[in-house]
């Protein structure tokens, strides 16, 4: 038995695919709870793509939507670490269940010449966006949609010259029709 | 009920929680609490440094299984606790730290002795609180104790602004139910999943080369009895981590002793060749696994742990079981006993193979009659205490020798900073252990480098007449760093030489302790005998040992068990590494 020790043997590892995950965290809305979550991500070296937080219909409960990019093993660990926080009520990864995903962006774009103003207005209409502020040489546009739609819109505006962008980060709710299919990351 | 000061509420909760000893130093922001403590029926052990106070509370908690309590003032008092809290956090030690904070209207103004203590300690505590309203004070303190001692235990800090400790309030002691209602998201998982337990039992029946890999969770979860029963029933050999020492009697024929970086040859070989690894209350730390891809390459893994986040964190696990180890082991035993256990006979050839490994490379060292070998000192401490003492160690070579050459029989017998690796832990933890277990002989086995990091608190041990035996394994080096420099940095001894030390014998005398020294092997026993006779004060024993002794076997950091260094063929050369087998 001791002879074979010179041949290298490696533990087989299950496959773990990398991708974007949307994680919903419900927490007790206590002082400092958001810091606990962000410092957990920072301390363990997890990257947050976006994070939004807001009140819910229940008193003292806040809902946090986190988008992370990572392989399944890392995301599983993130979820477990989030669950471990004392103030966490529930954690769900809704990536694989049907859900509605929305983000809002305010985009300030150069629009000095008439040609540019026309072209931008056409894009605004196609994307069902809205011009919410106008100055001599800028438009400020409000748009909602999923992240892909926003990215596409912003890319199309780039040639005109972007002045500033404010984005809310992703919000998500599961589709009621898909409720039974809710997939929780279970340890066992 | 009459109105009470916040400070009195603090004391009331401590008493309600059954606390009889707290460790700490007063200061401006916590004076009101110390005033309330003045005539309360509990004692404060006046440490000389808050870090030492935290380690004392930690040693008390580890030795007794109760929650340790440490108190400090705001700012520097609280920041001095940081290392102690991080130490307890890594090793799952139940602590409650109560810190004074500047009055509420000064918070955020950079007031005198102000620090954002909740912010600083957030990642190194299981949970922490800033009390902002006296109405919440009693409930928060009770929550702190509840969180500290349940689930996977850990330190909890409660930061209390001074004005709240002074304010008066008509309060009612919160009940256990109030506490649980206030923590709707905190539900530790105690029951193991029966389907998983069944699967585990099936794997155990089928395994030909199984090994039990046992960590500190078995000690924390009081599951040693169940573990012994499981090992004996299934004839599965047991290796423990550094934190798991004492969970399984090391004199038991099935004991493989420690595994990992400084594990025994036979434990590491058994794990490497195993076809089933049953991890119980352990967390696959890098000091255990070495190169993770090659750790137990052929083994299926069962992992029993109370912390879901420990499972599949470092290594993929085949059968995870989340639950309290005692509870799970009881159910597993029940499951195994459902069918006759003849399959155990198939284990005999595996146990024979392990015996061969034990014979080939037993745990040993080069003995000498001219120079004191550090391992010899530990063996003599074992002999003179008949293996019954509580041993508390610092961090470094001496810690590993204390782990390897003292054979532990009981849980809570070996205290050391396994996770964080905190130098300066050993002696103050011994103070806490002695206060918690006055019936036991308590040895602090310290390195010279480790000891000097907290030696100021010998004064505390003198003040409370604690007969702690401090054995300094003095090689005038930061020995573990020196060993790595020798092996991996071409013997370039950069900043590791501690040739300038105080005279430890005189130092002991100056502090009111007893000082003894041994420079020859023949003096070791005599020094220990003298030390054992002293029962009213601490004694510092300066054992001047072989300066360049190495801790072996060793699996270099990040390497596979295949690359274990078993013995020093030629001193000082990295090429002495050879593959085992």
Last residue of a domain, one of B132, B158, B182: B182
Q: Is residue B454 part of a domain?
A: yes
How many residues are listed for chain B in this entry?
581
Asked if A81's CB is within 8 angstroms of B297's CB, the reply is no
Q: Is residue B200 part of a domain?
A: yes
B432 and B516 in a single domain? The answer is: yes
B321 and B425 in a single domain? The answer is: no
- Return the SS3 of A160: helix
Q: Is residue B566 part of a domain?
A: no
Q: Which two tokens stand for residue B523?
A: 């003096």
Q: Which two tokens stand for residue A124?
A: 């605004």
Confidence of residue B1 (pLDDT cuts 50, 70, 90): low
B123 at interface of A, judged by CB pairs closer than 8 A: yes
Q: Which domains does chain A have, with CATH numbers?
A: 18-97 (3.30.70.260), 100-172 (3.30.70.1150)
B295 at interface of A, judged by CB pairs closer than 8 A: yes
Q: Is residue B580 part of a domain?
A: no
B344 and B380 in a single domain? The answer is: no
Give me the pLDDT at residue A187, please. Answer: 41
B421 and B343 in a single domain? The answer is: no
Confidence of residue B581 (pLDDT cuts 50, 70, 90): very low
Interface mutation target, options B186, B274, B580, chain A, most CBs of A under 10 Å: B186
Question: Measured between alpha carbons, how far is B92 from B95 in angstroms, rounded to an integer?
Answer: 9
Q: If you average pLDDT over every residue of chain B, what do you get?
A: 95
Residue B572 pLDDT exceeds 50: no
Give the chain B residue nearest A82 (alpha carbons). Answer: B309
Buried b (16+ CB within 10 A) or exposed e, A141-166: bebbbebebbeebbeebeebeeeeee
B456 and B341 in a single domain? The answer is: no
B118 CA: distance to closest CA in chain A (Å): 9
Instruction: Starting at the earlier edge strand, list the strands of the sheet with A18-28.
Output: A48-55, A61-71, A18-28, A88-93
Residue B382 belongs to what H/E stretch?
helix B374-384
Give the chain B residue nearest A42 (alpha carbons). Answer: B123
A2 CA: distance to closest CA in chain B (Å): 5
User: Which of B389, B365, B405, B551 has the alpha carbon at shortest distance from B470?
Assistant: B389
pLDDT digits (tens, 9 = 90+) for B198-225: 999 999 999 999 999 999 999 999 999 9
- Return the SS3 of A42: helix
The mean per-residue pLDDT over the stretch B317-331 comes to 98
B167 and B19 in a single domain? The answer is: yes
Last residue of a domain, one of B133, B156, B182: B182
B465 at interface of A, judged by CB pairs closer than 8 A: no
Q: Using an 8 Å CB-CB cutoff, list chain B residues near A43.
A: 123
- Half-sphere exposure in the Cβ direction for A80 (13 Å, CA): 19
Domain containing residue B302: CATH number: 3.40.50.1220
Active-site positions of B read 50, 112-113, 162, 480
Residue B579 pLDDT exceeds 80: no
A1 at interface of B, judged by CB pairs closer than 8 A: yes
Phi-psi category of B432—alpha, beta or left, where left has phi over 0 and alpha has psi -120 to 50? alpha
Give me the pLDDT at residue B341, please. Answer: 79
Domain containing residue B32: CATH number: 3.40.50.970
Q: Using an 8 Å CB-CB cutoff, list chain A residues near B269.
A: 2
Contacts of B78 (CB under 8 A, 6+ apart): B50, B72, B99, B100, B115, B117, B120, B121, B159
User: Which of B9, B34, B36 has the alpha carbon at shortest distance from B23?
Assistant: B34
B317 and B423 in a single domain? The answer is: no
Contacts of A148 (CB under 8 A, 6+ apart): none
The mean per-residue pLDDT over the stretch B435-452 comes to 98
B112: containing domain: 4-182
Question: Measured between alpha carbons, how far is B124 from B192 in angstroms, rounded to an integer?
Answer: 28
DSSP B91: T
Asked if B562's CB is within 8 angstroms of A10's CB, the reply is no
Q: Across the interface, which of B185, B272, B353 has its CB nearest the CB of A28?
A: B185
Q: Is residue B558 part of a domain?
A: no
B11 and B114 in a single domain? The answer is: yes
B276 and B345 in a single domain? The answer is: yes
Residue A180 pLDDT exceeds 80: no
Confidence of residue A16 (pLDDT cuts 50, 70, 90): confident
Contacts of A28 (CB under 8 A, 6+ apart): A60, A61, A62, A87, A89, B184, B185
Confidence of residue A2 (pLDDT cuts 50, 70, 90): very low
B98 and B124 in a single domain? The answer is: yes
End-to-end CA distance of chain B: 74
Residue B28 pLDDT exceeds 90: yes
Helix%, strand%, coil% for chain A, nearest 5: 30, 40, 30
Q: Is residue B573 part of a domain?
A: no
Give me the pLDDT at residue B94, please. Answer: 98
A78 CA: distance to closest CA in chain B (Å): 9
Asked if B185's CB is within 8 angstroms of A87's CB, the reply is yes
Residue B429 pLDDT exceeds 50: yes
Give me the pLDDT at residue B20, please. Answer: 96
Give me the pLDDT at residue B345, please. Answer: 84
Question: Measured between alpha carbons, how far is B457 from B437 in angstroms, rounded to an integer?
Answer: 19
User: Which of B472, B387, B459, B388 has the alpha carbon at shortest distance from B426?
Assistant: B472
Q: What is the DSSP string of B320-360?
A: EEES-HHHHHHHHHHHHHTS--GGGGGGHHHHHHHHHHHHH
The mean per-residue pLDDT over the stretch A27-32 comes to 93
How open is the CA angle B179-B180-B182, to the nearest 5 degrees? 65
Number of domains in chain B: 3
Asked if A39's CB is within 8 angstroms of B122's CB, the reply is yes
Q: Is residue B18 part of a domain?
A: yes
Q: Is residue B572 part of a domain?
A: no
Q: Across the interface, which of B118, B272, B295 has its CB nearest the CB of A32?
A: B118
B210 and B130 in a single domain? The answer is: no
Residue B485 belongs to what H/E stretch?
helix B479-488
pLDDT digits (tens, 9 = 90+) for B344-371: 888 899 999 999 999 999 999 999 999 9
């Amino acid at each position: 038995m001791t002879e074979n020790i010179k041949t290298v043997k490696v533990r087989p590892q299950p496959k773990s695919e990398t991708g974007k995950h949307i994680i919903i965290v419900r927490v007790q809305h206590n002082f400092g709870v958001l810091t606990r979550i962000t410092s957990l991500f920072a301390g363990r070296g997890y990257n947050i793509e976006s994070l939004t937080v807001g009140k819910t219909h229940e008193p003292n409960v806040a809902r946090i939507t986190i988008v992370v990019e990572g392989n399944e093993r890392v995301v599983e660990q993130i979820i477990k670490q989030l669950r471990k926080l004392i103030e966490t009520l529930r954690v769900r990864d809704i990536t694989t269940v049907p859900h509605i995903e929305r983000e809002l962006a305010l985009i300030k774009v150069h629009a000095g010449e008439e040609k540019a103003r026309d072209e931008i207005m056409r894009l605004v209409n196609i994307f069902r966006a809205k011009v919410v502020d106008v100055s001599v040489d800028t438009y400020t546009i409000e748009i909602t949609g999923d992240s892909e739609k926003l990215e596409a819109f912003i890319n199309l505006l780039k040639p005109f010259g972007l002045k500033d962008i404010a984005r809310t980060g992703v919000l998500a709710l599961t589709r009621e029709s898909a409720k039974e299919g809710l997939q929780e990351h279970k340890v066992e | 009920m009459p109105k009470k000061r916040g400070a009195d509420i603090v004391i009331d909760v401590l008493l309600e929680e059954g606390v009889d000893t707290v460790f700490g130093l007063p200061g401006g922001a916590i004076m009101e609490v110390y005033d309330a403590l003045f005539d309360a029926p509990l004692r404060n052990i006046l440490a000389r440094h808050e870090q030492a106070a935290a380690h004392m509370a930690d040693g008390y908690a580890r030795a007794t299984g109760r929650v340790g309590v440490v108190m400090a003032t705001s700012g520097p008092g609280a920041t001095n606790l940081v290392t102690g809290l991080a130490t307890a956090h890594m090793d799952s030690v139940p602590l409650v730290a109560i810190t004074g904070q500047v009055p509420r209207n000064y918070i955020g103004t950079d007031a005198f002795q102000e620090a954002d203590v909740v912010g600083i300690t957030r990642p190194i505590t299981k949970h922490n609180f800033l009390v902002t309203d006296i109405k919440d004070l009693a409930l928060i303190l009770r929550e702190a104790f509840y969180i500290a001692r349940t689930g996977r235990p850990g330190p909890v800090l409660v930061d209390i602004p001074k004005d709240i400790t002074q304010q008066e309030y008509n309060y009612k002691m919160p009940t256990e139910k109030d506490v649980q209602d206030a923590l709707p998201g905190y539900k530790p998982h105690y029951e193991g999943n029966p389907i998983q337990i069944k699967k585990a039992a099936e794997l155990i029946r089928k395994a030909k080369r199984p090994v039990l890999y046992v960590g500190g969770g078995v000690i924390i979860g009081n599951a040693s009895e169940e573990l012994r029963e499981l090992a004996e029933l299934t004839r599965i050999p047991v290796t423990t981590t550094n934190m798991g020492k004492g969970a399984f009697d090391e004199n038991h024929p099935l004991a493989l002793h420690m595994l990992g970086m400084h594990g025994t040859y036979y434990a590491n070989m058994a794990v490497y060749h195993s076809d089933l690894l049953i991890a119980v209350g352990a967390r696959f730390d890098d000091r255990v696994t070495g190169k993770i891809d090659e750790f137990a390459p052929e083994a299926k893994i069962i992992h029993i742990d109370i912390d879901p986040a420990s499972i599949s964190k470092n290594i993929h696990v085949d059968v995870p079981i989340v639950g309290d180890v005692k509870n799970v082991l009881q159910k597993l035993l029940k499951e195994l006993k459902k069918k006759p256990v003849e399959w155990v006979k198939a284990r005999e050839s595996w146990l024979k193979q392990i015996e061969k490994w034990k014979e080939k490379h037993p745990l040993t060292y080069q003995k000498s009659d001219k120079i004191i070998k550090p391992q010899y000192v530990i063996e003599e401490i074992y002999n003179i205490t008949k293996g019954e003492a509580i041993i508390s160690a610092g961090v470094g070579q001496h810690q590993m020798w204390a782990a390897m050459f003292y054979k532990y029989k009981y849980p809570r017998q070996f205290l050391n900073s396994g996770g964080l690796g905190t130098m300066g832990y050993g002696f103050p933890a011994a103070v806490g252990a002695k206060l918690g277990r006055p019936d036991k002989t308590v040895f602090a086995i310290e390195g010279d480098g480790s000891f000097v990091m907290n030696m100021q608190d010998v004064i505390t041990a003198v003040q409370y007449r604690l007969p702690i035996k401090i054995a300094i394994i003095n090689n005038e080096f930061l020995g573990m760093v020196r060993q790595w420099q020798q092996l991996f940095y071409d013997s370039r001894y950069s900043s590791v030489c501690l040739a300038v030390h105080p005279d430890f014998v005189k130092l002991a005398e100056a502090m009111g302790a007893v000082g003894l020294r041994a420079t020859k092997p023949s003096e070791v026993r005599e020094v220990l005998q003298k030390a054992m006779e002293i029962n009213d004060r601490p004694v510092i024993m300066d054992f001047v040992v072989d300066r360049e002794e190495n801790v072996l076997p060793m699996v270099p950091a990040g390497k596979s068990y295949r690359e274990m260094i078993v013995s020093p063929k030629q001193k000082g050369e990295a090429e002495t590494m050879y593959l085992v087998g």
